[in-house]
Amino acid sequence: MNSRTIGYFIILLNLISTSIALGQAPQVLWTKTYGGPQFDEGHSIDTVSEVSFIVTGRTSSFGWGNYDVWLLKIDQHGDTVWAKTYETSDEEHGNSVIKTEDGGFAVTGQKGRFPFSCQVYTVKTDFEGTIQWSGTYGGDFARSIIQTADGGYLFSGCSPWKFYLVRTDSNGDTLWTGLYSDGYNNYSYDVYEYISPQDSIFYLMAGCTGAGSHDFSWDVYLVMVNEVGDTVSTRRYGDPQYGPDDWASSIEPTADGNFIVAASTKTLGVGGYDIWLMKVNVYGDTLWTRTYGGREDDVARHAVETEDGGFIIVGHTTSYGAGGMDAYIVRTNATGDTAWTKAVGGQFDDFARELIITNKGYIIVGYTESFGAGDRDVYLICLARDIVGIADNPETRNPDILTLSRIYPNPFNASTIIEFTLSENTFMSINLYNILGEQITTLFEGEEQAGEHMVTWDAYDYPSGVYFARLETNNATKSIKMLLLK
């Protein structure tokens, strides 16, 4: 069933947002709502192309009447391309969505209402949202889905009160499942596939565990398993003695081979809940941590690395903003120091759940009770991209000789252009590397004249993923991260 885009808001910045930062936050380019007269929520977003993205969540305005999985394809202006609901005779939620290698989409979430009779529910569609297969997979629910290196899928969630991992092939047939617990209640929010330099495959899950004797208070909990689901390592972070709530909502890779974890904490910070950003290595060792927030509650849902090496975090706040809860965005530099923050919303409750970085800006998905047509609507915020004033490449030895002007588009599909300037004639090379640090190709090597130059990378034969371009002369080196999305 096609959705109706009920609300269309391009609201002046001083009416819907509040900047609370050390620096100037970028402009809100547009906001939009999607929904009907009842409850509709946006939970997850992924990039489809340079001009579109995919959103999932749940709707009670459309479909069978209970909550149904809602999948919306949206263009770069926030206009609906198509919308579909997926339902059975029960209640269904879409919690995580990805674009798949074949150009379609995969959504995971739950069938039934937690904590009663519910289980993991996953739907695979083609590029138009037509179901190719769907299934239930035991457990209680899934919060995250990824496509694995071999084209299969991995869902992580909870079953019951344990980390739950389901590994399938490309057709959705179960290969194995795993339950992981340290003896307390456990809850998994996110999962990431890590391929080591030795080509070993591991899966990292982030969530929370019961804090000691306080089984309904929480510590951040990270679990690593191997490719057949055997536990390799576990780490917990927080205060198990006193048991205030700390939990992780997302884990994402960084360009230097480490991971950024978005969490929420009562153990640290200055208010009720504070946003907690942790950088850890593959073994779970803490490299640094930072907290962000005010006197009340500030909660993190998702964090990603930006092209300048900093980070952007989304969640919600009651410390700042215009209403009860507002969507909250925190921008940092590469070491987690605050660059700016922004609260976006109205007089009622508004939430941010996940974001992507596109050529057009930061696209944030959540839901709103301040705007739209019903009790609660899917909420999209498009925020202009920025560059934080930090060194984007610590390897640069002489920036006057070599200037990396820009790479566009980035993220990209199929091909991208690298622009650079040389201040003198020099021998230089441009090499490309994958996320494991392996050189995959050389774009240029030889003598180059002073002046402005551009080189195109045709990535038709390469899979989606993070890559790095390294430009090197006799006296200078520059690197930049690129995201290939097919």
Q: Using CA atoms, how far apart are residues 211 and 238, in angstroms rounded to an integer?
A: 8
- Looking at 355, 383, 411, the residue that finishes a domain is 383
Considering the domain architecture, whether residues 377 and 413 belong to the same structural domain is answered as: no
Considering the domain architecture, whether residues 452 and 364 belong to the same structural domain is answered as: no
Considering the domain architecture, whether residues 377 and 447 belong to the same structural domain is answered as: no
Considering the domain architecture, whether residues 323 and 408 belong to the same structural domain is answered as: no
Residue 20's pLDDT is 37
Mean pLDDT along residues 89-111: 95
Residue 240's pLDDT is 60
For every residue of 184-225, DSSP letters joined together read: S-EEEEEEEEEE-TT--EEEEEEEEEEETTEEEEEEEEEEEE
Residue 393's pLDDT is 42
Share of the chain above pLDDT 90, in %: 64
Considering the domain architecture, whether residues 368 and 456 belong to the same structural domain is answered as: no
| Total tally of structural domains belonging to the chain | 2
Give yes or no for residue 234 having a pLDDT over 70: yes
Q: Is residue 394 part of a domain?
A: no
Q: Is residue 427 part of a domain?
A: yes
Q: Is residue 391 part of a domain?
A: no
Considering the domain architecture, whether residues 439 and 376 belong to the same structural domain is answered as: no
Residue 436's pLDDT is 67
Mean pLDDT along residues 258-263: 97
Name the average pLDDT for the chain: 87
Reported pTM: 0.77
Residue 68's pLDDT is 96
pLDDT in tens, 430-456: 999 887 667 899 999 999 988 889 899
Considering the domain architecture, whether residues 314 and 431 belong to the same structural domain is answered as: no
**CATH number of the domain encompassing residue 132:** 2.130.10.10
Mean pLDDT along residues 321-345: 94
Q: Which residue has the higher pLDDT, 301 or 482?
A: 301
For residue 329, which of 255, 247, 386 has the smallest C-alpha distance? 386
Residue 413's pLDDT band, with cuts at 50, 70 and 90, is confident
Residue 3's pLDDT is 33
Q: Is residue 239 part of a domain?
A: yes
Residue 397's pLDDT band, with cuts at 50, 70 and 90, is very low
Residue 4's pLDDT band, with cuts at 50, 70 and 90, is very low
Q: Distance between alpha carbon 134 and the CA centroid of its chain, in Å? A: 24
Q: Is residue 388 part of a domain?
A: no
Give yes or no for residue 328 having a pLDDT over 50: yes
Q: Using CA atoms, how far apart are residues 257 and 93, in angstroms rounded to an integer?
A: 33
Q: Is residue 395 part of a domain?
A: no
Mean pLDDT along residues 27-45: 96
Residue 399's pLDDT is 44
- Looking at 324, 349, 383, the residue that finishes a domain is 383
Considering the domain architecture, whether residues 153 and 38 belong to the same structural domain is answered as: yes
Considering the domain architecture, whether residues 407 and 362 belong to the same structural domain is answered as: no
Q: Using CA atoms, how far apart are residues 97 and 56, in angstroms rounded to an integer?
A: 6
Considering the domain architecture, whether residues 66 and 153 belong to the same structural domain is answered as: yes
For residue 112, which of 120, 101, 123, 104 has the smallest C-alpha distance? 120
Q: Is residue 15 part of a domain?
A: yes
pLDDT in tens, 105-132: 999 999 988 666 889 999 999 999 999 9
Q: Is residue 29 part of a domain?
A: yes
Are the beta carbons of 15 and 31 closer than 8 angstroms?
A: no
Mean pLDDT along residues 125-142: 96
Considering the domain architecture, whether residues 200 and 304 belong to the same structural domain is answered as: yes
Q: Which residue has the higher pLDDT, 8 or 238?
A: 238
Residue 412's pLDDT band, with cuts at 50, 70 and 90, is confident
**CATH number of the domain encompassing residue 478:** 2.60.40.1930
Give yes or no for residue 172 having a pLDDT over 80: yes
Q: Which two tokens stand for residue 121?
A: 């529910």
Give yes or no for residue 17 having a pLDDT over 80: no
Mean pLDDT along residues 337-356: 96
- Looking at 352, 383, 414, the residue that finishes a domain is 383
Residue 115's pLDDT is 66
Sign of CA dihedral 308, 310, 312, 317: negative
Residue 122 domain boundaries: 7-383
Considering the domain architecture, whether residues 207 and 248 belong to the same structural domain is answered as: yes
For the chain, the helix, strand and coil percentages under 3-state DSSP, each to the nearest 5: 0, 60, 40
Residue 202's pLDDT is 96
Cα distances (Å, whole numbers) of residue 143 to 35, 44, 148, 166, 206 = 22, 10, 16, 12, 11
Q: Using CA atoms, how far apart are residues 356 and 371, in angstroms rounded to an integer?
A: 22
